[in-house]
Amino acid sequence: MTINGLHHAAISTPNIDRLMAWYRDNFGFEEVARTEWPIGSKDIDEVVGLKNSSAKQGFLKCGNIMIEFFEYNTPPSIPLQKNRPVNNHGHTHLCVDVTDIEKEYNRLLDNGVEFHSAPKDFGQVKATYGRDCDGNIFEIQEIIDQNHPAKVF
């Protein structure tokens, strides 16, 4: 297998600045990236399984763990119940870092795993999302640039 380990967990939020600051201030996580995408980003829409998505995105890193944050502008989000029970959904996905994404994608397809799309090449990173047996989203990614700030291995 070419799996390196888990890379990050992701959280969708109505206020990315507030939530990233909370993790930074409370746990000392370091901001390593901020980006956003506009409506019309076809490859991203396919990977995340949404139509006409647009969002802000950020990464915080602490040691060998990262958290990715999304503030979607479109499509409209459904707010989570405040203080929801721990058994309700919240995190958007877990990411598994791999060395050869095509090989892992095909191996997982052979095992019956469902994906939103084939892996997409975003330049420094190749990635796609899939679903586990309960319908939870996971990501497989291959970081191409060995000096990328999000590289944890």
**Domains of the chain and any CATH numbers:** 3-143 (3.10.180.10)
* pLDDT (0 to 100) of residue 34: 97
Residue ranges of E strands in the chain? 3-12, 30-37, 54-62, 65-74, 91-98, 114-115, 120-121, 125-131, 137-143
Provide the pLDDT confidence category of residue 125 given band limits of 50, 70 and 90. Answer: very high
Query: Which residue matches tokens 């994906």?
Result: 115
Closest CA to 149 of 23, 21, 31: 31
Q: In this structure, what token pair is assigned to residue 25?
A: 């201030």
Whole-model pTM: value is: 0.72
Answer yes or no: is pLDDT of 84 > 70.
no
User: What confidence tier does 86 reach under pLDDT thresholds 50, 70, 90?
Assistant: very low
Question: What is the average per-residue pLDDT within 66-90?
Answer: 75
